[in-house]
Structure 1
Amino acid sequence: MTYRNVISAVVRALAAETISSAGGCDFEPKVQSGKHVGEMVGRDAAFLTDCWVFGRLHRSLSPAQWRVLVAKYSTHTERKHTAIAELTKTVRSPAPERFRHCAIVTWALPKPAGVSGKRSTTVLPAAWYEMDNWSEEPHPIKTQERWRRDIRKALEREVDEALVAAQTLLDAEGLIETKAA
């Protein structure tokens, strides 16, 4: 199995741990009858590859790279919240801690356009997306926008660096499609 691109590989790998009813990656092979006796095919083969990629990325990426990918792309609620909490401690900004935390949470859990919270994706209550609620003390709106923009730029930069590292790893394993020109 190969992935279209590094983002689809990361998203599938991070989603793999929530697919199993046991709540984790199940590396026990489920052998199906295929072309060869004992060959894995179809969904089970793809799922096993996703689980393998999850483990390989988790083991090979730096903790900071792994944390930012989990915060951005994971569907595992507990791991995503843990990553967000850890990012709040590491992201540098002149903004107050509560503002930094809210900026990171709304970056990791963006409000999809036109959504009122009735989807399978996690959507925060509307008040979370209003910057005026992110600090106890009043700050000029331009200052708040600058803080939020700088925090998001720093997080996106970290995501880009993590994706480059993941791309290098997955290319070396031959898991990313290469299209002939």
Structure 2
Amino acid sequence: MIYPSVLSAVVSALAAECIDNTSKQAWQRLIDLDTVKVGRGGFGGDRMQADCWVFARLHSQLLPRHWTALVAKYSTHKARKVEAIGKLAVLVASHAPRLFVYKAVTAWAIPPLKGADGKRSADMIVLDARLYDMNTWDVESRPERTRRRWRQGVTVVLEDMVTEALAAAESVLECEGVLLSSVA
């Protein structure tokens, strides 16, 4: 399997663990029309194996903070995403109070979804709109300008972590020969 980019490889690998490829009873297939139409989320057996292998390879080869940043940003696995948010909040250096940093990391990792009350899929984490209100992030009610500066600082640190993680993932995947650029 060859991926066109490092981002597509990471997203596919992180999504692979959420795909339900268990065999279904006949009555379950009648109810679950998506499974009947596209079969295991549209992935063939070879693609699923490649995605799982890339998942395992990246998890074992990347620094823990890089892996955690990728999981927080791109994973669709609810429990892993929440766990990654908690780990990242501790890693982010900021002058902001810990509660502020935790909520800023959470809002970054789980952006608000478009749609009616952000509800597009039952499988997505949907946060209450109040969590995205910075006024609730600081119990001492510091000035808006300070809170914006803190939030921007947290976002820059997180985006830098993701950029570093993608660069590290790219070198791992190029060594393995699974990126389109490494084949040429």
What TM-score does the superposition give when structure 2 sets the normalisation length?
0.83
- Which of 145, 149, 153 aligns to 1:150? It is 153
Distance in 2, matches of 1:13 and 1:108, equals 18
Divergent runs of 4+, >6 A: none
What SS does structure 2 have at the residue aligned with 1:102? helix
Q: How does 1:115-126 map onto structure 2 within 5 Å? A: 116-120=117-121, 121-126=124-129
Distance in 2, matches of 1:11 and 1:43, equals 16
1:175 corresponds to: 178
Distance in 2, matches of 1:19 and 1:172, equals 27
User: Residue deviations 1:38-92, cap 9 Å, x none?
Assistant: xxxx710000000000000000001111111111111111111111011111111
- Match for 2:102: what amino acid? H
More helix by share: 2
1:13 corresponds to: 13
Q: How does 1:22-171 map onto structure 2 within 5 Å? A: 43-113=44-114, 116-120=117-121, 121-171=124-174
Shift, 1:178, TM fit: 2.8
Distance in 1, matches of 2:155 and 2:107, equals 10
What TM-score does the superposition give when structure 1 sets the normalisation length?
0.84
- Match for 2:107: what amino acid? T
Over aligned residues, Cα RMSD in angstroms?
1.9
Shift, 1:113, TM fit: 4.5
Distance in 2, matches of 1:172 and 1:49, equals 15
Shift, 1:177, TM fit: 1.3
Distance in 1, matches of 2:77 and 2:116, equals 21
Distance in 2, matches of 1:86 and 1:179, equals 32
Distance in 1, matches of 2:102 and 2:134, equals 11
- Match for 1:101: what amino acid? Y
Distance in 2, matches of 1:98 and 1:179, equals 43
Unaligned runs of 5+ in 2: 23-42
- Match for 2:76: what amino acid? T
User: Residue deviations 1:152-172, cap 9 Å, x none?
Assistant: 000000100000000011111
Distance in 2, matches of 1:127 and 1:100, equals 16
Shift, 1:175, TM fit: 1.0
Q: How many residues align?
A: 162
Looking at both structures, which has the greater relative contact order when contacts are Cα pairs under 8 Å and sequence separation is at least 6? 2
